[in-house]
Amino acid sequence: MDVIGDFLLTLLHGVTNTHLLHWTTKSYAEHKALGEFYTNLQELADSVAEAMIGKYDLTPKFPEAYYHPADNGMDELQGLKDYVAQTRTLLPQDSEIQNLIDEIADQIDSTIFQLRLK
C-alpha cells in the first residue's frame, strides 16, 4: 500500500462524501457547515499533495477502492478525523508537511464543532 496515495485519495473521498452529504441533509446548519468544509478540504488536500510530491519527487499510487459516505456529516467527519490522526504518523514528518496536516485536522475539528451546534 502506498500510504501517501491512500491518504490523498481518502482526503478527496472526504471532499466528495461531504459534498454528497451537503446536498442530502435536511439541516440548514449542516448544509452550510459541510459546504464550507468540502471547499476548504479540497484546497488543503491539494496543498499537502503538492508539498509531498514536490519535496520527494514522487508519483503516488492511488488505491482503486472508493468508500461511500457515512450516514451523516458528523459520522463522516469523525471517521475522517480518526483516519487523519492514525495515518499522519506514517506520512513524512517534515514540519512543513505536518503543519499542512495540522490545518486539515483543524478544519475537521472546527466543522465538527459547527455540526454540534445544530
Supply the mean pLDDT for the chain.
96
pLDDT tier, 67 (very low <50, low <70, confident <90, very high otherwise): confident
Grid cell in block for residue 35: 459546504
CB-based burial of residue 82 (10 Å sphere; 0-12 exposed, 13-18 middle, 19+ buried)?
exposed
Q: Which amino acid is at 59?
A: T
| C-alpha span between 33 and 14 (Å, rounded) | 14
pLDDT tier, 109 (very low <50, low <70, confident <90, very high otherwise): very high
* Its pTM surpasses 0.85: yes
Query: For 54-62, what is the mean pLDDT?
Result: 94
